[in-house]
Structure 1
Amino acid sequence: MLRTDKIRVVIADEQPVIVLGLQTWFETRERYRVVASATGEEQLLSKLRGADGELVIVGCALGAQARPAADRFGILRKLRECVPHTPLVAFTTESDPLAIRAMQRAGADGTASTRDDLKDLGRVCERVLSGVKGVISPRIASCLQSERRNAQAFDPNTIYREVRVSATTLAARM
């Protein structure tokens, strides 16, 4: 059965130009209607309570300055608590595989790069809306692939061949 109503989207990013660009892009698509947008964490959380969004797209840097470095993706955790069943797409400049995995653990159902084409963000949104978890954009996938290649190239025997430390020697040095 095809939907006759539009998918209600909530967009948030700390940069107003990003919010405006995403709003414009989604509004020009027949399937979507932007029901709320925000440029701050508290603004987003208050708008989510009043908006009946079916999809949340959030820039991961939103509110990061107010958080300790250990909780860089706290906004994703807060959103997951606030709207636990709403699909959540992280829109990020990150290319570090550890950071991308941290976003996924924090609650992102999908992850897209700000360097991807917007059509790739649209594909991530479509897959997340269909119920798939752990969806990543092509740019994010290439970042994760480079991590795998680097992990396979690591050979501890060649790097640490000359280092021999026994457990007792190590304990005596401490």
Structure 2
Amino acid sequence: MLRKDKIRVVVADGQPVTVLGLQTWFETRERYRVVASATCEEQLLSKLRDADGELVIVGCALGAHARPAADQFGILRKLRECVPHTPLVALTTDSRTLAVRAMQRAGADGIASTRDDLKDLGRVCERVLSGVKGVISPRIAAGLESERRNAQAFHPDTIYREVRLSATTLAARM
């Protein structure tokens, strides 16, 4: 059965130009309608109460200046509390494994890079809307794979075997 109404999307990012770009891109798609947008955390949380969105796309840097570094993805936790059953896609520049896992634990159903093509963001949104959890964009996946390869390349027995010195050898050289 095909939907007759458009999917209601809420977009938020700390950069107004990013919000405008997301609004424009989603509005030009037949399937979506942007029902709310925000450029700060407080604005987003107040608009969410009235927006009745079916998908939230948020830049992870939104409100980061007001949070301690240890709570880097607090906005995702707040959104998960505010709209617990609404699919949530996080936009980020960080593709490190620890950061991706932290975003997923904080409540992101999908993660896309701010450097992704918009068609890749669209694919992440489609998969998240279909109920899939843990969706990542190709650029985020490539970053994770690169980090994994670099971690495997470091092996202390092979890289530093020739550099190891015993304490007595080191003391004798001084």
Q: Normalising by the residue count of structure 2, what TM-score does the alignment of the two structures yield?
A: 0.90
Could you tell me which residue of structure 1 aligns to residue 37 of structure 2?
37
Cα deviation per residue 1:54-108 (whole Å; 9 max; x = unaligned)? 0000000000000000001100010011111100000112233322221111111
Cα distance in 2 for partners of 1:149, 1:52 equals: 42
1:151: how far off?
2.2
- Residue 2 of structure 2 aligns to a residue whose secondary structure is coil
Relative to structure 1, is the Cα distance of residues 163 and 125 closer, same or farther in structure 2, using a 3 angstrom cutoff? Answer: farther
Cα distance in 2 for partners of 1:148, 1:4 equals: 44
Cα deviation per residue 1:147-170 (whole Å; 9 max; x = unaligned)? 1111222223235643789xxxxx
Deviates more, 1:36-45 or 1:94-103: 94-103
Could you tell me which residue of structure 2 aligns to residue 70 of structure 1?
70
Could you tell me which residue of structure 1 aligns to residue 172 of structure 2?
none
Cα distance in 1 for partners of 2:72, 2:141 equals: 21
Cα distance in 1 for partners of 2:53, 2:32 equals: 11
- Residue 29 of structure 1 aligns to a residue whose secondary structure is coil
Relative to structure 1, is the Cα distance of residues 155 and 164 closer, same or farther in structure 2, using a 3 angstrom cutoff? Answer: farther
Give the unaligned 5+ runs of structure 1: 166-174
Cα distance in 2 for partners of 1:138, 1:57 equals: 17
Cα distance in 2 for partners of 1:127, 1:163 equals: 53
Larger Rg: 2
Cα distance in 2 for partners of 1:13, 1:62 equals: 5
Cα distance in 1 for partners of 2:155, 2:102 equals: 26
Q: Normalising by the residue count of structure 1, what TM-score does the alignment of the two structures yield?
A: 0.90
Matched AA of 1:149: R
Give the unaligned 5+ runs of structure 2: 168-174
Could you tell me which residue of structure 2 aligns to residue 134 of structure 1?
134
Cα RMSD (Å) of the superposition? Answer: 1.5
Identity %: 86
Could you tell me which residue of structure 1 aligns to residue 99 of structure 2?
99
Could you tell me which residue of structure 2 aligns to residue 170 of structure 1?
none
